[in-house]
C-alpha cells in the first residue's frame, strides 16, 4: 500500500494553480482584473503564439511599491482583503491573492511596476529559481509579462484548444471587460497586429466594439428596475438581431462578468414569445447590488456568483425584458417589412427616421419613448377600423398613425394565448387517423396523458397509427388531415419545447388564413381580442403582427 505523504510544495502549488489558470484566456482575465482593481484608465494586452509564448498586460494603475513586488507573487498575498469581515463585502475583482502565484507556478512571470513619484522595479519569477530583482524605470503603472505558459506541463498543453480558439477566447474575455468598464481604454494586439481597440467612449462604443458595428443600433435599453436593493439595467436586442448561441449575452454582477444559468434563463424567459426557437438575443446586463448580497467566493475562477435575492432578481429581469418589448415593439420590423415589398423608394424616408429614433436612447430614454408612436405592451391604441386590403390586412387608424394588422398572425396570437390559459378539448366531428413511424408512435404512446392535459385527445390505433378524437381549439375552418398529422408529429418530437411548439402550431393551423374576407364585425372582434392579449406586437413565432406608419412619417413623405 502506498504511504500517505504531504505533497512537496511545488507539486501542491501546481495543483492549486490548475484551478485558476486553465488556459491563456484565464491568465488574461486575472491580469486585466488586477489592472482594473488598480484603477487603470488604459489597459494594453499583447499576445503571441496563442498566449503560450507571451501574454503581456500593461496598465497605468496605481502600481506596486518596488519593495512589495516579490510579495505580490506569493500565494495568499493580497492588498484587497484584510480580515474575514472584508470577505462579506468584496468590491474588487481579486481578493484571494492567488492569481499571480498561480500563474508563476505554470509560467515565467516578469513584473515591472512603479508607484507615482517612486522608483520602479522589475521582478522575474521562474519555477525553482531565485527571484531576480532589479531597479527599473517606468512611469506609474504595472506591466506583467507571462512567457512559456504551461511549457513545463505537457499534460495541460495537450488539452488546450488550437491557437485560433485560444485567441478567440481571449478576444471574448477582453470584449466582456470592455462592456463592464466602458470608460476604460482597452487594446488587444495579437502577434504584432492590433486586433481590437476601445477608446473608452462609453457603453454604445463598447457595444460596437464587442458585437460589431451596427449592433448598438439593434439594441434597446432596459428600463432600470430595483428589487431587494439590486439594480438591474442594461441593453438587450430586439428580434432583428439574434445569434445561434448565448455567446453574445454578457451579464455583470457589480461589473464582474459572470456565467449564471438562472440569470441567463430568466433573460431568455422574457424573450419566450418574441424569438424563434433556437435563436438567442444579444445583451449586456448589469446587476448592481450591495456587496454583502452577493457571494463571489463560490467558483475558483469567480465566474459564478451566488445572489442573496436571486429568485426576485430573476423574476424582475424577465419582466423587464417583456416590458422593453412592450415599449419598443420590434423597432426594426416595420422597416424590414416595408423594404421587402415594392414600396421601398417612396418610403425611403422611413430609414433615417427609424435610425434616429433608435439612436435616441443613447442620449435620453425619454426622448426615444416620446418620439416612438408605437403601441404599448398590453393594449393597442384606440383604433378606428377602415377596412381590409389584400384579403390579408386589417387597415386601421389611431390618433397618430395608420396601422396594418396581419389578420392571420393576429388570430394566431389570440388563439395561442387562449390555449396557454385554458384548454377545453373540442371533439372532432370525424376523428382523424394519423400514420406515424414506430419511433413517433412509441414517443406519443408515452405522452397520451400529457397530450390530454393539453386538450389533444388521442388513442393508439394499431402499431403505427393514432386516432385523434379532440383538439384544444375550435378552428375557423375544419382542420385538414395534414394539419392534424403535423400537430401529432410535433407532439412526437424529442425537443424539450415540444409543448410550446405544439400549441403554436395548433394556433397557426386553426387561425384564419390570408385571403379570407372579413366582415366589419369579424374584424372588430379580432382586433378587440388582439388588444387583450399579452403581446399584440408579435405572433407566437415571433413575427410582427402590426405595422404602424406614424403621422410624422406621412408628413415627411408628402412634404406636408
Ligand atoms: P488578488 O488580485 O486576489 O489580490 P493577485 O495574485 O492577482 O491577487 O495579486 C496580488 C496583489 O498584487 C494584489 O492584491 C495587488 O496588490 C498586486 N497587484 C497585482 N497586479 C497589480 C497591478 N496590475 N497593479 C497594481 N497592483 C497589482
Ligand atoms: Mg487578482
Best mean pLDDT range from 78-82, 297-301, 470-474, 538-542 = 470-474
Cell 445561434, located at residue: 244
59 lines ligand 1 (CB under 6 A): yes
pLDDT tens digit sequence for 393-418: 999 888 888 888 999 999 999 999 88
pLDDT tens digit sequence for 412-448: 999 998 888 877 888 888 888 888 888 888 888 889 9
Which numbered ligand comes closest to the C-alpha of 38?
1
Cell of 558: 408628402
**Range from 27-31, 53-57, 143-147, 260-264 carrying the lowest mean pLDDT:** 260-264
| Phi, psi for 370 (deg, rounded to 5) | -70, -20
Helix or strand run (H / E) with residue 324: helix 310-327
| Top CATH class, 423-472+477-510 | alpha beta
What are the structural domain ranges in the chain? 9-193, 214-328, 331-413+514-558, 423-472+477-510
| Top CATH class, 331-413+514-558 | alpha beta
Report the DSSP beta bridge partners of residue 218.
none
Number of Cβ within 10 Å of residue 505's Cβ equals 20
Cα 28 to Cα 51, 101, 484, distances in angstroms? 9, 14, 55
Cell 444579444, located at residue: 282
Residue nearest to atom 16 of ligand 1 (CA): 79
- Looking at residue 72, its pLDDT comes to 87
pLDDT tens digit sequence for 216-268: 777 888 889 999 999 999 989 887 777 888 888 999 998 888 888 899 999 99
- Cβ-based neighbours of 319, under 8 Å, separated by 6 or more: 225, 270
- Polymer length in residues for the chain: 560
Pocket probe mutation, ligand 1, options 94, 107, 123, max atoms within 8 Å of Cβ:
94
Which of the listed CATH numbers 1.10.357.10, 2.30.40.10, 3.30.230.10, 3.40.50.150 matches domain 214-328? 3.30.230.10
Q: Which residues of 253-285 are buried (b: 16+ CB within 10 A; e: fewer)?
A: bbebbbebeebbebbbebbebbbeeebbbbbbb
538 lines ligand 1 (CB under 6 A): no
Cα 147 to Cα 385, 489, 509, distances in angstroms? 71, 57, 62
Asked whether the predicted pLDDT for residue 336 surpasses 80, the reply is: no
Residue nearest to atom 21 of ligand 1 (CA): 34
Asked whether the predicted pLDDT for residue 154 surpasses 60, the reply is: yes
Determine the Cα–Cα distance for residues 14 and 22; give it in Å rounded to an integer: 11
79 lines ligand 1 (CB under 6 A): yes
- Looking at residue 113, its pLDDT comes to 94
Determine the Cα–Cα distance for residues 220 and 461; give it in Å rounded to an integer: 52
Strands 249-253 and 283-288: parallel
64 lines ligand 1 (CB under 6 A): yes
68 Cα–ligand 1 center, Å: 10
DSSP 387-428: EEETTTEEEEE-SSEEEEEEHHHHHHHHHHHHHHH----EEE
Cell of 438: 414506430
Which ligand 1 atom minimizes the distance to the CA of 59? 23
Asked whether the predicted pLDDT for residue 60 surpasses 50, the reply is: yes
Torsion, CA 80, CA 82, CA 84, CA 90, rounded to 10: -20
Cell 463560490, located at residue: 298
Quick one: fold of 9-193? Answer: Heat Shock Protein 90 (3.30.565)
96 lines ligand 1 (CB under 6 A): yes
Determine the Cα–Cα distance for residues 247 and 283; give it in Å rounded to an integer: 10
Residue nearest to atom 23 of ligand 1 (CA): 35
Question: For all residues of the chain together, what is the average pLDDT?
Answer: 81
Cell 393539453, located at residue: 454
Region 357-373: mean pLDDT is 27
Region 386-397: mean pLDDT is 90
- Cβ-based neighbours of 219, under 8 Å, separated by 6 or more: 207, 235, 236, 237, 238, 241, 282, 283, 284
Determine the Cα–Cα distance for residues 126 and 146; give it in Å rounded to an integer: 10
**Range from 108-112, 260-264, 297-301, 310-314 carrying the lowest mean pLDDT:** 297-301
| Phi, psi for 188 (deg, rounded to 5) | -125, 120
DSSP state of 544: B
Q: Give the residue among 472, 475, 487, 476 at the shortest CA–CA distance from 424.
A: 472
69 Cα–ligand 1 center, Å: 9
Determine the Cα–Cα distance for residues 50 and 113; give it in Å rounded to an integer: 25
Is residue 385 within 8 Å of residue 396, measured between CB atoms? yes
Amino acid at each position: 500500500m502506498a504511504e500517505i505523504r504531504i505533497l512537496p510544495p511545488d507539486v501542491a502549488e501546481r495543483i492549486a494553480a490548475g484551478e485558476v489558470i486553465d488556459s491563456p484566456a484565464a491568465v488574461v482575465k486575472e491580469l486585466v482584473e488586477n489592472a482594473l482593481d488598480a484603477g487603470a484608465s488604459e489597459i494594453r494586452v499583447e499576445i503571441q503564439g496563442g498566449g503560450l509564448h507571451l501574454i503581456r498586460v500593461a496598465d497605468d494603475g496605481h502600481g506596486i511599491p518596488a519593495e512589495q513586488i516579490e510579495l505580490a507573487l506569493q500565494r495568499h498575498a493580497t492588498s484587497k482583503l484584510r480580515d474575514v469581515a472584508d470577505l462579506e463585502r468584496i468590491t474588487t475583482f481579486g481578493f484571494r491573492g492567488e492569481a499571480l502565484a498561480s500563474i508563476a507556478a505554470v509560467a515565467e512571470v516578469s513584473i515591472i511596476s512603479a508607484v507615482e513619484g517612486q522608483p520602479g522595479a522589475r521582478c522575474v519569477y521562474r519555477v525553482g529559481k531565485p527571484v531576480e530583482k532589479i531597479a527599473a524605470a517606468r512611469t506609474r503603472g504595472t506591466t506583467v509579462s507571462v512567457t512559456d505558459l504551461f511549457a513545463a506541463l505537457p499534460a495541460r498543453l495537450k488539452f488546450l484548444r488550437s491557437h485560433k480558439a485560444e485567441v478567440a477566447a481571449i478576444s471574448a474575455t477582453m470584449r466582456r471587460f470592455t462592456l463592464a468598464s466602458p470608460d476604460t481604454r482597452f487594446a488587444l494586439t495579437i502577434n504584432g497586429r492590433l486586433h481590437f481597440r476601445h477608446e473608452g467612449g462609453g457603453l454604445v462604443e463598447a457595444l460596437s466594439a464587442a458585437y460589431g458595428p451596427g449592433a448598438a443600433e439593434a439594441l434597446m435599453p432596459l428600463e432600470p428596475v430595483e428589487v431587494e436593493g439590486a439594480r438591474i439595467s442594461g441593453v438587450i436586442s430586439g428580434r432583428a438581431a439574434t445569434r445561434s448561441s448565448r455567446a453574445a449575452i454578457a451579464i455583470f454582477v457589480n461589473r464582474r462578468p459572470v456565467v449564471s444559468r438562472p440569470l441567463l434563463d430568466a433573460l431568455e424567459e422574457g424573450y419566450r414569445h418574441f424569438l424563434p426557437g433556437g435563436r438567442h438575443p444579444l445583451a449586456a446586463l448589469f446587476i448592481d447590488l450591495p456587496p454583502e448580497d452577493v457571494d463571489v467566493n463560490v467558483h475558483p475562477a469567480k465566474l459564478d456568483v451566488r445572489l442573496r435575492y436571486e429568485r426576485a432578481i430573476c423574476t424582475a429581469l424577465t419582466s423587464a425584458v417583456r416590458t422593453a418589448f412592450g415599449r419598443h415593439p420590434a423597432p426594426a420590423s416595420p422597416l424590414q417589412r416595408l423594404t421587402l415589398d415594392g414600396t421601398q423608394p417612396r418610403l425611403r424616408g422611413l430609414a433615417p427616421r427609424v435610425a434616429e429614433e433608435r439612436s435616441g436612447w443613447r442620449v435620453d430614454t425619454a426622448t426615444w419613448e416620446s418620439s416612438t408612436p408605437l403601441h404599448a405592451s398590453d393594449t393597442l391604441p384606440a383604433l378606428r377600423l377602415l377596412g381590409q386590403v389584400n384579403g390579408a390586412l386589417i387597415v386601421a387608424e389611431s390618433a397618430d398613425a395608420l396601422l396594418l394588422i396581419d389578420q392571420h398572425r393576429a388570430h394566431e396570437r389570440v388563439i395561442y394565448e387562449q390555449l396557454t390559459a385554458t384548454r377545453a378539448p373540442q371533439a372532432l366531428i370525424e376523428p382523424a387517423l394519423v400514420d406515424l413511424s414506430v419511433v413517433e408512435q412509441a414517443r406519443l404512446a408515452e405522452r397520451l396523458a400529457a397530450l390530454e392535459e393539453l386538450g389533444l385527445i388521442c388513442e393508439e390505433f394499431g402499431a403505427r397509427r393514432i386516432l385523434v378524437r379532440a383538439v384544444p381549439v375550435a378552428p375557423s375552418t375544419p382542420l385538414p388531415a395534414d394539419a392534424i398529422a403535423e400537430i401529432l408529429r410535433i407532439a412526437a418530437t424529442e425537443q424539450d419545447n415540444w409543448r410550446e411548439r405544439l400549441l403554436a402550431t395548433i394556433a397557426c393551423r386553426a387561425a384564419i388564413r390570408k385571403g379570407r374576407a372579413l366582415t366589419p364585425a369579424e374584424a372588430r372582434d379580432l382586433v378587440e381580442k388582439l388588444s387583450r392579449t399579452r403581446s399584440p406586437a408579435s405572433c407566437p413565432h415571433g413575427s410582427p403582427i402590426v405595422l404602424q406608419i406614424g403621422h410624422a412619417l406621412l408628413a415627411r413623405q408628402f412634404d406636408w
